[in-house]
Amino acid sequence: MELRHLGRTGLRVSRIGLGTLTWGRDTDERDAADQLKAFWEAGGTLVDTADVYADGGAEYLLGRLVEDLVPRRDLVIATKAGSVPDPDRRFDGSRGHLLAALDASLERLGTDHVDLWQVHAFDPDTPLEETLQALDIAVASGRARYVGVSNFCGWQLAKAATWQAVSPRAQTRLASTQMEYSLLQRGIEREVLPAAADLGLGVLPSSPLGRGVLTGKYRRATPADSRGASPHLAPFVAPYLDEEAGRIVEAVATAADGLATTALGVALAWVRDRPGVTAPIVGARTARQLEAALSVEALTLPDEISKALDDVSAPVHRYPDHDWSTL
The Cα 232–Cα 235 span in angstroms is 7
pLDDT attached to residue 241: 84
Q: Which residues of the chain are under the pLDDT cut of 70?
A: 221, 223-232, 318, 322-327
* Contacts (Cβ under 8 Å, ≥6 apart) of 265: 256, 259, 292, 295, 296, 299
Q: Which of 53, 60, 181, 240 is catalytic?
A: 53
53 is catalytic: yes
Helical pair 29-41 and 57-65, crossing angle rounded to 10 deg? 60
For the chain, state the CA radius of gyration. 19
Q: How many residues does the chain have?
A: 327
At residue 47, φ and ψ (nearest 5 deg) are: -120, 120
> What is the distance between the alpha carbons of residues 74 and 44, in angstroms, rounded to a whole number?
9
What is the reported pLDDT for 226? 67
For residues 154 and 166, give the distance between their C-alpha atoms in angstroms, rounded to a whole number. 18
In the prediction, which pLDDT does 285 show?
86
Residues 184-240 pLDDT 10s? 999 999 999 999 999 999 999 999 999 999 999 878 767 666 666 566 677 878 888
The structural domains of the chain, ordered by start, are 3-313 (3.20.20.100)
pLDDT at 322: 65
